[in-house]
Amino acid sequence: MFLIKNIFSAVVVFISVQVASAQTSFDPLPYVNPFIGTSNYGATNPGAIAPRGMASVSPFNVAGRIDLNPLEKDSQWLSNPYVHENQFLTGFSHVNMSGVGCPELGVIITMPTTGDLETDHIKYGTTYSEETAEAGYYAVQLDKYKVKAEATASTRAGVSRYSFPAGKSNVLLNLGLGLTNEQGAMVRVVSPNEIEGMRMVGSFCYNNAEAAYPVYFVAKFSKPADDFGVWKTPYKYEGLESQWMGYNGKTRIKKGFTREVVGDSIGAYMTYDFATPQEVEVKIGVSYVSIENARENLEQEVGDATFEEVLAETQQAWKKKLQVVEVEGGTEDEKTIFYTALYHTQIHPNTLNDVNGEYPEIATGRIGKTDGTRYTTFSLWDTYRNYHQLMSLLYPEEQLDMVRSMLEMYDENGWLPKWELNSTETFTMVGDPATVVLADTYLRGLTDFDVEKAYGAMLKSALDTTNNPLRPGLKEYIDNGYLGVDGDVPGPVSTTQEYNIADYAIAQLAKKLGKKEDYKQFLKRSLSYKKLYNPETKFIQPKNSDGRWFAEFDPLAGANFAHNPGYIEGNAWQYLFMVPHDINGLKKLMGGNKKFEARLDELFEKDQFDMANEPDFAYGYLYNFIPGKEYKASEKIHELIATYYKNAPDGIPGNDDTGTMSAWVIYSMIGIYPITPAEPVYTFVVPTFNKIILHLNQDYYENPELIIVKDSISKGKLKIEVDGAKFTKPLFDLSKINFPKKIKFL
What are 234-289's pLDDT values in tens digits?
888 888 877 788 788 899 999 999 999 999 999 999 999 999 999 999 999 999 99
Q: What pLDDT does 13 receive? A: 36
Of the candidates 289, 252, 277, which has an alpha carbon nearest to the alpha carbon of residue 267? 252
Grade residue 108 by pLDDT with cuts at 50, 70 and 90: very high
- Burial (CB count <10 Å: 0-12, 13-18, 19+), residue 484: buried
Average pLDDT, integer, range 58-67: 95
C-alpha neighbours within 13 Å on the C-beta side of residue 7: 21
- Burial (CB count <10 Å: 0-12, 13-18, 19+), residue 246: exposed
Q: What pLDDT does 600 receive? A: 98
Grade residue 737 by pLDDT with cuts at 50, 70 and 90: very low
- 8 A C-beta contact, residue 118 and residue 124: yes
Grade residue 459 by pLDDT with cuts at 50, 70 and 90: very high
Q: What pLDDT does 54 receive? A: 98
Q: What pLDDT does 17 receive? A: 31
Query: What is the Cα–Cα distance from 265 to 519, expressed in whole angstroms?
Result: 56
Query: What is the Cα–Cα distance from 68 to 103, expressed in whole angstroms?
Result: 20
Q: What pLDDT does 203 receive? A: 85
Query: What is the Cα–Cα distance from 574 to 541, expressed in whole angstroms?
Result: 11
Does residue 582 register a pLDDT over 60? yes
Strands of the sheet with 128-134, listed across from one edge: 128-134, 137-142, 147-153, 157-164, 278-287, 213-221, 194-201, 185-191, 261-263
Q: What pLDDT does 714 receive? A: 41
Alpha-carbon separation of residue 67 from 85, 122, 628 (angstroms): 12, 12, 55
- 8 A C-beta contact, residue 444 and residue 738: no
Does residue 15 register a pLDDT over 60? no
Cα dihedral across residues 51, 53, 57, 63: positive or negative: positive
Q: What pLDDT does 207 receive? A: 86
**Type and span of the H or E element at 641:** helix 631-644
Name every residue whose Cβ is closer than 8 Å to that of residue 466 and which is 6 or more positions away in sequence: none
Residues forming beta bridges with residue 164, ordered by sequence position: 278
Average pLDDT, the chain: 92
Name every residue whose Cβ is closer than 8 Å to that of residue 629 and which is 6 or more positions away in sequence: 3, 593, 597, 623
The percentage of the chain sitting over the pLDDT mark of 70, rounded to a whole number, equals 93
* 313-326 per-residue burial string, b: 16 or more CB within 10 A, e: under 16: bbbebbbebbbbbb
Please tell me whether residue 673 adopts helix, strand or coil conformation.
strand
Contacts of 721-725 with CB under 8 Å at 24 or more apart are: 721/746
Interval 125-144: pLDDT, tens = 999 999 999 999 999 999 99
- 8 A C-beta contact, residue 700 and residue 412: no
Dihedral pair phi/psi, residue 605, rounded to 5°: -65, -35
Query: What is the Cα–Cα distance from 668 to 655, expressed in whole angstroms?
Result: 18
Find the range with the poorest average confidence among 94-103, 319-328, 732-741: 732-741
Higher confidence at residue 725 or residue 516? 516
Does residue 14 register a pLDDT over 50? no
Angle made by CA atoms 731, 733, 738, in degrees to the nearest 5: 145
**Type and span of the H or E element at 197:** strand 194-201
Q: What pLDDT does 483 receive? A: 98
Interval 23-36: pLDDT, tens = 578 999 999 999 99
Query: What is the Cα–Cα distance from 143 to 127, expressed in whole angstroms?
Result: 6
Average pLDDT, integer, range 323-338: 97
Dihedral pair phi/psi, residue 365, rounded to 5°: 85, -5
Interval 370-384: pLDDT, tens = 999 999 999 999 999
Please report the beta strands in 550-687, taking only residues with DSSP state E, as ranges in sequence order.
672-673, 681-684
How many residues are listed for the chain in this entry? 746
Q: What pLDDT does 718 receive? A: 58
Does residue 21 register a pLDDT over 50? no
Average pLDDT, integer, range 202-216: 91
- 8 A C-beta contact, residue 203 and residue 212: yes
**Type and span of the H or E element at 142:** strand 137-142
Grade residue 664 by pLDDT with cuts at 50, 70 and 90: very high
Average pLDDT, integer, range 661-678: 96
C-alpha neighbours within 13 Å on the C-beta side of residue 670: 26
Q: What pLDDT does 740 receive? A: 56
Of the candidates 696, 685, 663, which has an alpha carbon nearest to the alpha carbon of residue 745? 685
Query: What is the Cα–Cα distance from 367 to 727, expressed in whole angstroms?
Result: 53
Task: Write the secondary structure of 547-568 as one string of H (helix), E (strand) and C (coil).
Answer: CCECCCCCCCCCHHHCCCCCCC
Average pLDDT, integer, range 632-655: 96
Alpha-carbon separation of residue 491 from 501, 537, 568, 581, 583 (angstroms): 15, 19, 5, 20, 22
- 8 A C-beta contact, residue 673 and residue 387: no
Our separate counts of H helices and E strands in the chain read 17, 38
* 422-458 per-residue burial string, b: 16 or more CB within 10 A, e: under 16: bbbbbbbbbbbbbbbbbbbbbbbbbeebebeebbebb
- 8 A C-beta contact, residue 227 and residue 258: no
Q: What pLDDT does 604 receive? A: 98
